[in-house]
Structure 1
Amino acid sequence: MKRLSSYILVVVIFFSILNCAKRGTPTGGEKDTTPPQMVKADPPMFTTNYDNQRIRIYFDEYIKLSELQKQLIVSPPIDQGGYVIRPQGTASKYVEINIKDTLQENTTYTFNFGRSIQDNNEGNPYEYFTYVFSTGNYIDSLEVTGVVKDAIKKFPDQFVSVMLYEKNEQYGDSTIYKEKPTYITNTLDSAVSFRLANLRAGKYKMIALKDVGNNYTFDPATDKIAFVKEDIVVPTDSIYELTLFKEIENFSIGRPGMISRNRIAFAYTGLPDSMEIKLLSSKPEGFKEKITKEKDKDSLNYWFTPIDLDSLQFEVSKGTEKETFTVRKRKLPKDSLTLKPNIRGSIVPGKRFAILSNIPLEAKDESLMSLIDKDSMPVPFTTMIKEEDGELQLEFDFETAPSQRYRLALLPNAIKDFYGDTNDSLDFTLSTKSLADYGNIRVTLQNVKQYPIILQVTVEKGEVVKEIYATASQPEYSFESLEPGKYYIRLIYDENKNGQWDTGNFLEKRQPEKVYYLPGDLKPLRANWDINETFILPEE
């Protein structure tokens, strides 16, 4: 009996320890998803006749400020350094605004914190918290709403500033380049809509900026812009649509510089069409020169054969623009011929194989080239030396067949560059896929208001995969042999009939050419699959 009692005691103690261990295991509890809330403000929200320098806003828990410079919008804008917000970098139960600038009389001010106020532990944001006060005896309460879209991309940029400029005696077309707006707000995150609140009645000019410099003024070199052509009269029930575009800068000539022993880069802004580069220095007999566009850079390459001078003098001109430059020669290495294929892997239907060169090509000898298929049968081909989109290349034109392999061989001296250098032996293995490896997209259009149009298949970032230029209505538009993947369909009204999309210009009061995307998302295109879509254009 004594033994049994001892045994029971041991068992009880064991389970007691086990239960204590279980109770002591931390579970962490449920995650806090509640954002902080304002408890009070000093002075209170919507204070009128404001004449203090300090505002304190208190919250129900410890908060932190995240990306304040990016998120905070003060309307009307206050000059940089005109206010200080603290604490930053530490947790606190309040936010303090110290105003150092002189505020405008009879004006309603808003401090929109966006998503910058977050609880200290989990980072839950107090969405778009706004503190409002007035230096006058009432709070302005009118508002304007609208949406922002991109002129050419399917999805607009984030954090686009939407601005109103009062149309008074001081306003002119140059105002947006040098003056801050009367009112400002932002689109935040993935939102495309905006709301300009606490406005006073009046007539305004509305613009939007992707304000890269964050200085509330338009810099055409970096910023995108959108504008409403007509004046905005507040109050209004209209909902405004702003189309954001990047202007082409006015042409200007930059300073040239030596890139290699026999190449000089001539920088520019704007469009280089009809830009002329003329060598004023004396040229030796047999001297050669060539000008090409540098890929993905705003510069032209001036290639020249050896010349026994310490410096070269040039005249660069376009239209009425004309400048003279002296370029001192430097001891730099010579460009060496480098050749590489434009396609790695399979040849995509509709795209030609080409050999890309880093130096302009001068000549080619097709007798030193051969192309055979997988059965070692010769394949007829032709070649062409081209410069396309800044790429120097030798393009091959031959008929491809599905599920085929090709071998392209170039013997030495088949290609000669601008300096007279030639290639070593080159060997390329090319292939094509089965037609069943590709898919097709067919589009029917409705409500097209005018022709010509450019109908394009693009990827998410806007790169064009295929396009059709149509000058009249067609029953169907077919895009054949596309790689499996996710695509978008867009239509461009080619108003000036130049075969490409054209951007807008603020000073010329010209909007960009209209672009429409097929609403929603296409189902991902699969191999050996057809997608049929009806694209209904909006009636305007």
Structure 2
Amino acid sequence: MLYRLVFYSIATVLLFSCAHPVSPGGGAKDKDAPVVLGTSPENGSANFKKDRFTIDFDEFVELQDAQNQILISPPLQNNPDYKIKGKSVQVKFNEALKENTTYSVYFGDAIVDITEGNPISNYTYIFSTGPFTDSLSLQGVVKDAFTLDPVSDCFVMLYKDDNDTISLDSMPLLVRPYYLSKTDDLGRYRFSGLGYDKYLLFAIIDMNGSLSFDLPNEQIGFIDSLISPTYINKPIIDSTAADSTFNDSTELIVRDTAMGIQDSLVEKKDDFFSDEIITYNTLLFTEKQKKLKLLSYKLIRDNTLQFIFNLPAKDVQINQLSIADREQWYFSKVSKDNDTITWFMKDMGLDTLNVLIRQDRDTLELLEIRLEKPNVRPNRRKDKEEKKPLLFEPIPKNKKLLPGQNPGIRFFQPIDSISLDSAVLINVEDTIINPEFVFMDSLKMSIGFKINNIEDSRYKILIPDSSIYDWNGSSNDELKINFSSIKLSEYGQLTMKITNSAKQKLLIQLFIDKDKVLKQDAVDNDTVLIYKYLSPVKYGFKVIFDDNGNGKWDVGEYSTKQQAERVEYFEKLIEVRANWEIEEEWDIK
């Protein structure tokens, strides 16, 4: 009896151990992806009549983020059911499939092993409901049109001209695509199992899941002309080592969408792409909005109100409705791009301000703006009104003066009165009482001091308390600002010789960290650009092909098939060294 009990106990343990696969403990870490052993029906089958297919692997697998990773083309109305059965994945369709149609099921990184989560990347199952299976392919990269960075999670859609009532160009706005793919983290996409036809390619960051371009702020990209897929002269086999037909360790030459020219950068690629077919480069942008809108308004500091628009605020009138305009109680300043308007206001003792914003005769907004931030300490007693300090910042902010540059002070409200009778400017070895100053702007918000700027020298400005008042009565505490002129040997010089082989209007940008532009120069012909007093760091160059000559980068427009203005980067970053002069040449074609 005891023997029988022990036997059944051991059998039960073994049974449950076999029924529940778990990650093994110890040993070397598993880095291998699951291997496909077979499919049912066979991958690439024609005359598919079933409502499901199964993929068998050499180890236990699971699905991760299936609804987002797995893409089916042509798209289905209802999502399939995905099930794991031991070492198999089963996909069951919940609707009737189209007749005589080739379907591709792209799994992305959805299928992983249960031990370490290693994905079988980019596996595609293809079948046809007709007598033959389409076998053409198409591949490409989606990049940001301005930065040329790859764009991930972008839908890439193909359309066929098979609608009697909707034109082909209108399809991305109105109907779901015929084929659908999605970019990976390197911006790459591909289609398999395509039929021989000409397709319209459209890419989109779909913000509402509609699979159509129906929101004005969705990023889009397109190829100017219709494109055709290509046959890859290799069979489709079920293994991770040679998935679908793609080679390993080859170089990718990307073809430009509109110009049909090779991209200036050569990218190393893995087995995602085939070198037998064209790789299309699609550039993504957000169309310029046509209707002026107020994006936001905010009190950026006491008595300073800012209105931000989505476009240059042409013919915009901002009228306040709370105060009779008997005196000048605010000054208005417009940003360089004309899309931001800042009000510098006198303190009129108001808690709120009613504002009407109009463009021509159209009312854009009617606002009630709170002018004071909520009191965070409401119980605090105020026996007397506290003095409000005069806000300021040095010019330049880092207080390091370039050769010939004079120091200054920028205030945040217009200055009403200033008396520097007791102020002191220490100019190298000279001490100047009551130094001369000039206002540097029409709003009287910046002052500058004349100095004898000598290399590697120190300067100090001392201004006594209550010497400067703005028009709200705020006055300065005692100011002590130290400036210094740079030591030229600690900086470098960079010369860039531009050959304008493109014969176009160009904008040459010098930048740090790609998004911080230090200087922009408009170039029409061959020229030499000299950049002095550069800190010893790495710099980059970018060119914008300024087609319309407006001095800035412009986006495209799908309705007119206008691409965004072309941009390119210089082939490398340039390291500037202290006390060195560097010369580079750039032939822009």
Cα 1:468–1:52 change in 2 (3 A) is: same
Q: For 2:475 and 2:545, locate their aligned partners in 1 and report how far apart those are by CA, in whole Å.
A: 46
The amino acid that maps onto 1:242 is T
Secondary structure (helix, strand or coil) at the match of 2:199 reads strand
Query: Any idea what SS the aligned residue of 2:548 has?
Result: coil
Alignment counterpart, residue 253 of structure 1, candidates 277, 293, 296: 293
1:188 Cα shift? 1.9
Q: Deviations over 1:227-281 (max 9, x none)?
A: 2223335569765332222333233434877748866665643333443212355
- After superposition, the Cα gap between the structure-2 partners of 1:238 and 1:42, relative to the gap in structure 1 and judged at 3 Å, is closer
Identity %: 27
Alpha-carbon spacing, 1:382–1:132, altered in 2? closer, same or farther (3 Å):
farther
Q: Deviations over 1:311-360 (max 9, x none)?
A: 76543223564345252768745998543447665627489866565x54
Residue 216 of structure 1 aligns with which residue? 211
Letter in 1 for 2:477: D
Alignment deviations for residues 6-54 of structure 1 (CA, whole Å, 9 cap, x no partner): xxxxxxxxxxxxxxxxxxxxx9654433211122233332233445443
* Corresponding position of 1:82: 79
Q: Aligned partners of 2:109 and 2:581: how far apart in 1?
A: 44
**Compared with structure 1, are the counterparts of its residues 370 and 217 closer, same or farther at alpha carbon in structure 2 (3 Å cutoff)?**
farther
Which residue of the partner structure matches residue 200 of structure 2? 205
Supply the AA of the counterpart residue of 2:283.
Answer: T
1:372 aligns with 2:426: yes
- Pair 1:156-2:150 in alignment: yes
Q: In the TM superposition, what is the alpha-carbon distance from 1:470 to its structure 2 partner?
A: 2.6
Contact kept in structure 2, 1:209 and 1:226, CA below 8 Å: yes
1:265–1:302 Cα contact (<8 Å) kept: yes
User: Contact 2:540 / 2:574 at 8 angstroms: preserved in 1?
Assistant: no
Match of 2:440 in 1: 384
Question: For the residues of structure 1 that align with 2:545 and 2:151, how far apart are their CA atoms?
Answer: 22
Letter in 1 for 2:30: D
1:426 aligns with 2:479: yes
Instruction: Note the C-alpha offset of 1:363.
Output: 4.9
Letter in 1 for 2:222: F
1:184 alignment counterpart: 180
* Aligned counterpart in structure 2 of residue 435 of structure 1, from 462, 473, 488: 488
Residue 278 to residue 336, structure 1, CA distance change in 2 (3 Å): farther
2:357 is aligned to 316
Write the deviation string for residues 436-484 of structure 1: whole angstroms up to 9, x where unpaired. 222232222335322432212222332212333333322x322222222
- Find out whether 1:35 has 2:33 as its counterpart: yes
Distance 2:500 2:303 in 1: 56
Residue of structure 2 equivalent to 1:23: none
Q: CA deviation at 1:498?
A: 2.2
Q: Match for 2:185: what amino acid?
A: D
Structure 1: 5+ residue stretches without partners: 1-26
Q: Does 1:536 align with 2:587?
A: yes
**Aligned with 2:559 (options 499, 507, 519):** 507
**Distance in structure 2 (CA, Å) of the matches to 1:231 and 1:101:** 31
> C-alpha distance in 1, partners of 2:304/2:219?
34
Once the two structures are superposed, the pairs formed by residues 18-97 of structure 1 within 5 Å of their partners are 29-68=27-66, 71-79=69-77, 82-86=79-83, 93-97=87-91
Counterparts of 2:65 and 2:390 in 1: how far apart (Å)?
48
Kept in 2, the 8 Å contact 1:115–1:127? The answer is yes
Aligned to 1:20: none
Q: 1:398 to 1:367 in 2, by over 3 A?
A: same
C-alpha distance in 2 between matches for 1:356 and 1:473: 39
- 1:424 maps to amino acid: D
Q: Which amino acid aligns with 1:59?
A: F
1:496 has 2:552 as partner: no
2:324 aligned with 1:275 = no
Which residue is equivalent to 2:240?
none
Q: Deviations over 1:128-182 (max 9, x none)?
A: 1112223333322223334434322143333433222233442365543453322
* Partners of 1:428 and 1:266 in 2: CA distance: 32
Q: Which residue of 2 aligns with 1:527?
A: 578
8 Å Cα contact 1:502-1:512 kept in structure 2: yes
Mapped to 2, the partners of 1:271 and 1:196 lie a distance apart of 41
Is 276-285 or 300-309 further displaced after alignment? Answer: 300-309
Change (3 A) 1:408 1:232: farther
Contact 1:488 1:518 in 2 (8 A): yes
The residue that corresponds to 2:21 in the other structure is none
Counterpart CA distance in 2 for 1:461 and 1:284 is 46
Q: Residue type of the partner of 2:514?
A: K
Could you say which residue in structure 1 is the equivalent of 2:17?
none
Change (3 A) 1:362 1:161: farther
The corresponding residue for 2:382 is: none
Q: Would you say 1:242 and 2:282 are equivalent positions?
A: yes
- Quick one: distance in 2 between partners of 1:410 and 1:71? 65
State how far apart, in whole Å, the 2-side matches of 1:146 and 1:70 are. Answer: 20
- Of residues 264-273 and 529-538 in structure 1, the stretch that sits farther from structure 2 once superposed is 264-273
Q: Match of 1:124?
A: 118
More off after superposition, 248-257 vs 331-340:
331-340
Is the 1:151–1:244 contact (alpha carbons within 8 Å) kept by the matching residues of 2? yes
Q: Mean Cα displacement is larger for which, 243-252 or 96-105?
A: 96-105
> What one-letter code is carried by the residue in structure 2 that aligns with 1:503?
V
- Helix, strand or coil at the partner of 1:176: helix
Which AA in structure 1 matches 2:71? I
Matched position secondary structure for 2:552: coil
Q: Is the 8 A contact 1:456 1:490 kept in 2?
A: yes
Please tell me whether the aligned partners of residues 500 and 526 of structure 2 are also in contact (alpha carbons under 8 angstroms). Answer: no
Note if contact 2:347-2:472 (Cα within 8 Å) is conserved in structure 1.
no
Q: What residue is the counterpart of 1:171 in the other structure?
A: 167
Q: Does the 8 A contact of 1:383 with 1:397 survive in 2?
A: no
Contact conserved, 1:314 with 1:325, CA < 8 A, in 2?
A: yes
Distance 1:256 1:345, change over 3 A: closer
CA contact (8 A) 2:402 2:486 kept: no
Change (3 A) 1:324 1:528: closer
Q: CA 1:301 to 1:434, structure 2 compared with 1: closer, same or farther past 3 Å?
A: closer
Separation of aligned partners in 1, 2:557 and 2:417: 44
- Report the AA paired with residue 60 of structure 2: Y
Counterpart in the other structure of 2:12: none
Cα distance in 2 for partners of 1:313, 1:74 equals 54
Letter in 2 for 1:216: L
- Cα-Cα RMSD: 4.1
CA change 1:446–1:302 in 2 (3 A) is closer
The letter for the 2-side match of 1:458 is: F
- Distance in 1 (CA, whole Å) between partners of 2:88 and 2:285 is 40
For residues 486 and 332 of structure 1, do their structure 2 counterparts lie closer, same or farther at Cα, with a shift above 3 Å needed?
Answer: closer
- Structure 2 CA distance for partners of 1:37 and 1:171, relative to 1, 3 Å: farther
Would the alpha carbon gap of residues 40 and 292 (structure 1) be closer, same or farther in structure 2, given more than 3 Å must change?
farther
Matched-pair contact (CA < 8 Å) for 2:335–2:341: yes
User: Once the two structures are superposed, what CA deviation does each residue of 1:369-392 show, in whole Å capped at 9, x if it has no partner?
Assistant: 6543443555976442489xxxx9
Provide the rounded CA distance (Å) in 1 between the counterparts of 2:203 and 2:407.
43
The 8 Å contact of residues 141 and 150 in structure 2, kept in 1 or not, is answered as: no
The aligned runs of 1:441-480 (5 Å cut-off) are 441-474=494-527, 476-480=528-532
Q: 1:323 to 1:231 in 2, by over 3 A?
A: same
Measured at CA, do residues 330 and 463 of structure 1 come closer, stay the same or move farther in structure 2, by a change above 3 Å?
Answer: closer
Q: How many residues align?
A: 500
- SS state at 1:61 partner: coil
What TM-score do you get using the length of structure 2 for normalisation?
0.71
Whole-angstrom distance in 2 between the partners of 1:203 and 1:366: 76
Counterpart CA distance in 2 for 1:120 and 1:35 is 10
Matched, 1:486 2:533: no
Code of the aligned partner of 2:123: F
**Whole-Å separation in 2 of the counterparts to 1:446 and 1:144:** 36
Q: What is the distance in 2 between the residues matched to 1:393 and 1:85?
A: 66
TM-score (normalised: structure 1): 0.77
Contact map agreement 2:82 2:89 (CA 8 A) in 1: yes
Per-residue CA deviations over 1:97-127 (Å, capped at 9, x if unaligned) read: 3433554443322222223333333333312
